[in-house]
Amino acid sequence: MSNLKHVAVVGATGAVGAEMLRCLEQRHFPVGQLTLLASARSAGKTLKFKGEDVVIKELTPDSFAGVDIALFSAGGGISRDFAPHAVKAGAVVVDNSSYFRMDPTVPLVVPEINAEDVKGHQGIIANPNCTTAISLMALHPLHQAFGVKRIFASSYQAVSGTGAQAIEELANQSREWAAENRAWDAAKLDSKPHVYPHQIAFNAIPHVDSFLENGYTKEEMKMENEGRKIMHHPDFRASVTCVRIPVFRSHSISISAEFEKPVDLAVAREVLSKAPGLDVLDDPANKVYPLALDIAGRDNCAVGRLRLDCALGNGLSFWVVGDQLLKGAALNAVQIAECL
């Protein structure tokens, strides 16, 4: 491949697709030619890239001629059907869906953790689940220092992780409550939710993704399954509860981790402060800790509320926050492309 790359973005009109374009531009990725691909209903529309209008084309099996790198963010079905066509045409696919993540022939990559795995690709590289990627940004440096055995975690996930319709549903429900001038204790609305099984405004829904036979959801099991693959740690265990909350952007995760070695709090802070892509915001006495509102739009994740766990031997508890549209999706994909 030449220094300038022909880059295709599949799902260019979605929230993650828009962030991919922003990351490519802001990080000065060497884009020589840009192809934007979406459904037939979006074909002919334009999106801005480096101040220029780029016409969106309909995604077809023949869309990838001459493409060097194809960034996919259009769902697992689209990745299943079209990624092989991109690879056949000579492109390397960086896929944001869950479809290829656990395929043993496909690297699953967080560049700050396992960039070397990119070298083993056979045409497709997978982007991890957003909650997993954000959590591992803090957990993996600690694993390197102390050897993680298992974690107990709860995630507090923004509605933008579901998509544009979920953002609209939260906004509409909030406006409905405000327009009716309801009391704080009468926040349940008469309108029926469409995206989520229950009202999301002023609520917390312990249900992200579909339930499995073991009582966990698919989203909850991704932390263990994907964490093992990314960290090359087949014995890693994770018990997770994923909760959707009425926040527009940025996921937050509370983690209690148990390690092989005794944890020294000062060493843990030092390790985390040196970790790439991670900021330490940990001064509770002055009300300093990571907040979803503050981390939204930031490339780096942030960790705080560091404390020795009082219920686990060799345990550490912490709070990590990341923009799930960036490190949890678009930014990580572009970083993988940079590794290529």
Is 251 catalytic? The answer is yes
21, 15 Cβ separation under 8 angstroms: no
Query: Known binder of ligand: residue 191?
Result: no
Query: Known binder of ligand: residue 337?
Result: no
Query: Known binder of ligand: residue 39?
Result: no
Query: Known binder of ligand: residue 13?
Result: yes
Q: Residue 186, Cβ neighbours under 10 Å: how many?
A: 9
Which residue of the set 23, 143, 251, 301 is catalytic?
A: 251
Query: Known binder of ligand: residue 228?
Result: no
Tokens of 106: 């496909």
Tokens of 330: 């678009």
Residue 156: partners with Cβ closer than 8 Å, 6 or more residues away: 204, 243, 245, 247, 251, 252, 253, 254, 292
Residue 116: partners with Cβ closer than 8 Å, 6 or more residues away: none
Query: Known binder of ligand: residue 9?
Result: no
Alpha helical stretches, state H, 117-217:
130-146, 164-179
Query: Known binder of ligand: residue 307?
Result: no
Which residue of the set 6, 23, 130, 242 is catalytic?
A: 130
Is 130 catalytic? The answer is yes
Query: Known binder of ligand: residue 27?
Result: no
Give CA–CA dist 34/52, Å, rounded: 11
Mark 47-65 as b/e (b = at least 16 C-beta within 10 Å).
bebeeeebebbebeeebbe
Query: Known binder of ligand: residue 91?
Result: no
Give CA–CA dist 219/224, Å, rounded: 10
In the chain, what is the straight-line distance between the N-terminal and C-terminal CA atoms, in Å?
Answer: 10
Give CA–CA dist 333/315, Å, rounded: 32
Residue whose C-alpha is closest to residue 295's, from 325, 327, 252, 250: 250
Alpha helical stretches, state H, 180-312:
218-231, 265-273, 292-295
Tokens of 113: 């953790």
Query: Known binder of ligand: residue 15?
Result: yes
| 285-to-181, 288, 289, 336 alpha-carbon distances in Å | 36, 7, 10, 38
**Binding site per annotation, positions for substrate:** 157, 244
Active site residues per annotation: 130, 251
Binding residues for NADP(+): 13-16, 41-42, 160-161, 324
User: Which residue ranges make up the annotated binding site for phosphate?
Assistant: 101
- Residue set of the binding site: 13-16, 41-42, 101, 157, 160-161, 244, 324
